[in-house]
Amino acid sequence: TTPIGLDFGNYHSYVCAAQRGNLDVLANEVSNRSTPSLVGFSFKNRYLGETAKSNEVSNLKNTVGSLQRIIGRAGDDPEFLAQQKFVSSKLLPVDGQAGAEVTYKGEKRQFTATQLTGMYLNKIKQTAITETKSQVSDICIAVPVWFNEQQRLAIKDAAAIAGLNCVRVANDVTAAAVGWGVFKNNDLPVDKPKLVCFVDVGHSSYTVSVVAFKKGECKVLGTAYDQHFGGRDFDALIAQHFAEIFKKKYKIDVNTNPKAAARVMAQSERLKKILSANSSAPFNIESVMNDVDVSSSMTREELEEAAAPLLKRAHIPVEEALKRAGVTPDQLDNIEVIGGSSRIPSVKEVLSKVFNKPLSYTANAEESTARGAAFICAMHSPTMRVRPFKFEDYNLNSVTYSWNPVEGEDVSELEVFPEGGYYPNTKVITLHRAAAFDVTARYTNPDTLPEGTNQFICKWTISGMQGKEPAVCKLKLRQDPSGIFTIEDAYVAEEVEVEEPIEGAEPAEEGGEIPTQTVKKWVKKTDLKIEAQGLGLSQKQLQEQIELENSMIMEDKLVADTEDRKNALEEYIYEMRGKLEDIYADFASDAEKANLREKMEKIEDWLYGAGEDAKKALYIAKYEELASIGNLIKGRYNAKQEEERQAKVAKKEA
Ligand code: ATP
Ligand code: MG
């Protein structure tokens, strides 16, 4: 299997494969190097990625976007419900989780955001399989830095639904930093680290990370983000600007009409992009609603005015990230700007001002995150030989583990992974217990969490102590490489005496033994059982969703195959008709020709009438009906061709 990296963007995603010593960003079925992060549903099948985009405007109610923003949220999370502004299908809670309602195959269906993302990831997997011509299983998925426990677990579940094994969830900007570091490794210092600030202004969020690089490794010193700052927020402000204008100028309110609003939003995005390279741009939509054609324009200055509420916040993530990293702008060796919205001139301007330094664009603005993710996946693969690039990430939110204290115990909780720490990270704690007990992890400070974040992380039940007296239970607590909080190991420990060489001691005589001493050490005696009750799907739920996804894949495949058979039938008729007049004319009797023509006409009528939407087997049967006659004629023609060819060869040889 080929290791895969995915930059799971809110707008579109890039997928990259680590193959033959390269990191190759893969093109999809229409040769685009990125795939819209959208899923759609129709009367017959699902539209995943590109087809969802191309059908979006005519299928608004059944197209779901902003997957990245809704996955792993609770159904009543205000942040989830606020996404309705950017999502054209109906958002609603499904099994208590964020979800959407669509009409699929003529029926109202509800799917959770995890399922919808699973569908999308399955499409990405198909692209990867087609492009690498190999099996695909392991994947590293890059997500926003602000993804919490629940969101990270949900993306892993979504991968599992798609039949993928998510070996690591990486922060997108960190993946970009790794991609950058791997590429530049030969120029990286061995002693004093090189300090690089990565600024990623994307579609829905804006992230800044300060990263220290040395040869073969990097460490994220500080990260900050604005969850509500990205291209789509600019689009919304521009759309609002025009909505106001159209109210006055044309007496229409585009916001009362979903289709009109969607078209204004799409046109606003187009205009925004034009304004990145031009000082003014037109804004026209024909028959936007009530048969009204709208026409207006915008200058760069007007865009800045409309976007002022955003632009005045643009300096904040940079300042926060630098502060957390304990770095001043003048200490930075490089400022790497990535993400589509970093192309907006006013954003660039703010950035140059806060850094007071030139910005650089040496990181591949679009693809570095996916490349980094593919590299990370390859590092996790036992079959790939890659020179490792070590990296540590920054923990944004403090996490506390707690337990019910027993008599004589005065501590009932511990801040194990503080904000500003680095991960992956492990800490061992000791509790004295005679019977099964629970440990719970939670985010320490609810006030500093992004809105809607579940403070609860996980509850574990630890059991398996044998004796009556309290045993020394050691718990290995871990913030794993994906940023997920676990209890990795739990065991009863016992103290044993071991002989150890004395550190720094010299042998009494030359060539003699190093003197040793007896020390007491805690070692594992028996394993304890760990049962987790966390925020991910249960095995049973996951299994059900995998089966449902597989059945939908089969149905989509059947629809696609049926379409192929129908096309084959149409093409056969078209081709046969031409050839009967032409090269096959002398190889069929008049009766045969008449018979075939009559059959073809009948089938053609059927194709455009009752047979418009028939079963695959029927198209095959009709095809065979024609081919049984047509192939005879074709056979005679081919035999004659062959005869002539042989005659030519014989003549040449003679
Ligand atoms: P996120 O990182 O927020 O999840 P993403 O990774 O999918 O999103 P990017 O590819 O970084 O997003 O950026 C997409 C955004 O960049 C879109 O909003 C798009 O309109 C905007 N964009 C792309 N090109 C330009 C341009 N030339 N000028 C202005 N904006 C642009
Ligand atoms: Mg992005």
* pLDDT at position 502: 86
Fold of 231-311: Actin; Chain A, domain 4 (3.90.640)
* pLDDT at position 573: 94
Considering only CA atoms, which of 161, 83, 118 is closest in space to residue 452? 83
Q: How far is the CA of 304 from the centre of ligand 2 (A)?
A: 23
pLDDT band of 103, cuts 50, 70, 90: very high
Residue type, 379: M
Give the relative orientation of helices 616-653 and 590-607 as an angle to the nearest 10 degrees.
Answer: 140
Structure tokens at 378: 């390859």
Structure tokens at 23: 């990191």
- Answer yes or no: same fold for 231-311 and 395-536: no
| Residue with CA at minimum distance from ligand 1 atom 24 | 340
* pLDDT at position 384: 75
Please name the residue ranges forming H helices in 189-315.
231-250, 258-275, 300-306, 308-311
Task: Tell me what the pLDDT averaged over the chain comes to.
Answer: 94
- Alpha carbon dihedral 413, 414, 418, 424, in 10-degree steps, equals -110
Considering only CA atoms, which of 247, 191, 201 is closest in space to residue 225? 201
| Beta carbon of 69 within 6 Å of any ligand 1 atom | no
The fraction of the chain above a pLDDT of 70, given in percent, is 100
In this predicted structure, the answer to whether residue 369 has a pLDDT above a threshold of 70 is yes
In this predicted structure, the answer to whether residue 383 has a pLDDT above a threshold of 90 is no
* pLDDT at position 293: 96
- Give the residue-averaged pLDDT of 478-507: 92
Query: Quick one: CATH architecture of 395-536?
Result: Sandwich (2.60)
3-state helix, strand, coil in the chain (%, to 5): 40, 30, 30
- What contacts 31, CB < 8 A, 6 or more positions away? none
pLDDT band of 206, cuts 50, 70, 90: very high
pLDDT band of 116, cuts 50, 70, 90: very high
* pLDDT at position 512: 81
Considering only CA atoms, which of 647, 527, 543, 505 is closest in space to residue 160? 543
pLDDT tens sequence across 38-63:
999 999 999 999 999 999 999 999 99
| Beta carbon of 202 within 6 Å of any ligand 1 atom | yes
Ligand 1 site-directed mutation target among 8, 11, 12, 33, most atoms within 8 Å of CB:
11
Q: How far is the CA of 11 from the centre of ligand 1 (A)?
A: 7
- Give the residue-averaged pLDDT of 590-613: 92
ipTM: 0.99
pLDDT tens sequence across 318-359:
999 999 999 999 999 999 999 999 999 999 999 999 999 999
Q: What are phi and psi of 359, to 5 degrees?
A: -95, 150
- Give the residue-averaged pLDDT of 146-153: 97
* pLDDT at position 363: 64
pLDDT band of 126, cuts 50, 70, 90: very high
In this predicted structure, the answer to whether residue 407 has a pLDDT above a threshold of 90 is no
Q: How far is the CA of 225 from the centre of ligand 1 (A)?
A: 16
In this predicted structure, the answer to whether residue 317 has a pLDDT above a threshold of 70 is yes
Beta bridge partners of 194: 213
In this predicted structure, the answer to whether residue 179 has a pLDDT above a threshold of 80 is yes
- Tell me how far CA of residue 450 lies from CA of 185, 266, 306, 446, 639, in angstroms: 35, 28, 26, 9, 75
| Beta carbon of 10 within 6 Å of any ligand 1 atom | yes
The fraction of the chain above a pLDDT of 90, given in percent, is 89
- Give the residue-averaged pLDDT of 507-520: 84
Before 501, cis peptide (omega within 30)? no
Ligand 1 site-directed mutation target among 32, 273, 371, most atoms within 8 Å of CB:
273
DSSP-based three-state secondary structure for 587: helix
What does CATH list as the number for 4-197+364-380?
A: 3.30.420.40
| Beta carbon of 11 within 6 Å of any ligand 1 atom | yes
pLDDT tens sequence across 274-297:
999 999 999 999 999 999 999 999
| Beta carbon of 634 within 6 Å of any ligand 1 atom | no
Structure tokens at 178: 């790794």
Dist. CA 227–CA 233, nearest whole Å: 10
* pLDDT at position 507: 82
- Tell me how far CA of residue 516 lies from CA of 461, 494, 520, 523, in angstroms: 41, 22, 13, 19
Considering only CA atoms, which of 232, 229, 226, 244 is closest in space to residue 302? 244
- Domain borders along the chain are 4-197+364-380, 231-311, 395-536, 541-653
Fold of 541-653: Substrate Binding Domain Of Dnak; Chain:A; Domain 2 (1.20.1270)
Q: How far is the CA of 10 from the centre of ligand 2 (A)?
A: 7
Q: How far is the CA of 235 from the centre of ligand 1 (A)?
A: 11
Q: Residue by residue, what is the 3-state secondary structure of 93-123?
A: EECCEEEEEEEECCEEEEEEHHHHHHHHHHH
